[in-house]
Structure 1
Amino acid sequence: MKSTTLQKTLDLQKGLFLIRYESAEDAAQPPKVSLSVDARSAGAVEFLLPPDVAEPVLWSPGGNVVVRLSAPARLQVELSARSAGGSLGARIQTAQLSTDPLGLAALDEAPVDFAGLRLLGHLAGRGDTFVGLGDWLGGPMAPTRIEGLGIDWAERPQNFALRHSVRVGGAGEPKATEFVEAGGYSGTRGRALPLVGATFEVHGSGAQHYEITADAIFLGSPQMKVSGQRVVVSGPTGREPLVGLRLQIASTRVAPVPLASPARSAPAATEPASKEPVRNGSGRVRVFRSRAGAKG
């Protein structure tokens, strides 16, 4: 018997989004698209619906709904066929709505001060240890098994958020923790369970022109470096203990080139304030299944 429903997840950052029913494989009998909030994101999501509409349901291509997220959240998308064995092929598009798609408001904001940010690591045989940005927990000169991580940032600005999650190793399959914001802790203490992976992410209106650089060392593996607004570190097999970690956060904006000195004969020249590509947060989710491919 062919399935009459199909479920997908949609992860969105904090903001205002338009969710649009772009197209359907069967235009005569398009599947119904129902939206709901993942239980772990309850309280962070608000659907903005037309008057007399009680539920966020898109009935046909061209349908739209606006959703407001006060924090990063996950939505559930369920497609329901109009008849037994009907098509479940559909394309759902998301676009972020913004009053400042170019991010120009950030030009008027003071640079973020990271002086008070400290990375906490629970190190085997040493206990809780704090280091600043640019300094190693463990590391190439003193590799030490890291069993837990936290971020201490008492003076964090309201428009800049930093969160992380970890993967805890052990005898069985590694277990991933939920994301926690600055001030939270992930991992274990006193159980001798190593971390085998970690994810760090900056978000918020003040974070759009900043990125993280993470240097990591896993037991028996060469040092790795990754950069971005979301970074993931893990060993070759995903089971190697993390024995060194260093974080840095920096602006991605390119400073203008100074004017040439009047004493020089070369003509003065300036460059644009930023060469960074525009990032408006838009995304696209494709949910597509043909009749022949649907199985019960």
Structure 2
Amino acid sequence: MSKPVEHFAAPGFPAVKVTQAPNIPQGLVTISALDEEGIISNPGGAALVRVNRGPAQVLVTTYSLPNDTTEIPDVQVARLSGPVIRPAEEGASSDIAGGDAPHPGAQNMPEISAHIRSQGDVTGSFGNWVGEPGSKQWIEGFGLSPKKDVAPEDIEYQAMLGKGWLSPWVEGGTFCGSRGMALPILGLRVRLKNAAAENFAVMVEAYFVDGSQVERTNADAVISAESHAALEAFKLDIVPLKSASKGASPAAGRGRKKTA
């Protein structure tokens, strides 16, 4: 549906708002947007809709000014979790990967890849930062493909898509999250499996856009800020399990504000 709006100033319109449809039981659908009012007005804006149990309906309303000839924004719907969803064709403006199939050429992929707001796709390696602490540019998705000690099939990970909402586990060589939809991930979870889990541990350090920092000796837990701020940068290390145990500190696993 579409409604003319007379009492708003022109900037920011036309706009779109996603709400729960009338007569839908409370708790069936959770909707969150980057704007506190739930308005999607800027190019690339997005809203996150979680259906806790289905079927369920949402209401998408477009708002415009009287006599405004500006084209109403297109609405693209993409699924972030659930059954396997193949990535968009190469070169497309957005990719959705809440559980893409493992890439057949995982060994040829960079150790770490990520999609960062306003920067696009970036690559990195274990032991180095992906994203820039303090940049306020959030990460939308990432993929891992270790090159030594641990094989891609021996690592799996999740993206925190919203408060209390994790993507499905995906295997090394798989992109997890989204691309080009302005949807930040709020954290991540990484763990090893098979024989790798008996010999190695994943150590992680992460920064968030609110300035908080989290470190863990072993990342087999959700790494997120207490405020649920968007993930800004992270660094992963794969170390021998005995070294990880010796290097554990009382502060490991607790969030804290970074210092200059």
What TM-score comes out, normalization by structure 1 length? 0.42
Identify the structure with bigger relative contact order (alpha carbons < 8 Å, sequence gap 6+): 1
Larger Rg: 1
What TM-score comes out, normalization by structure 2 length? 0.47
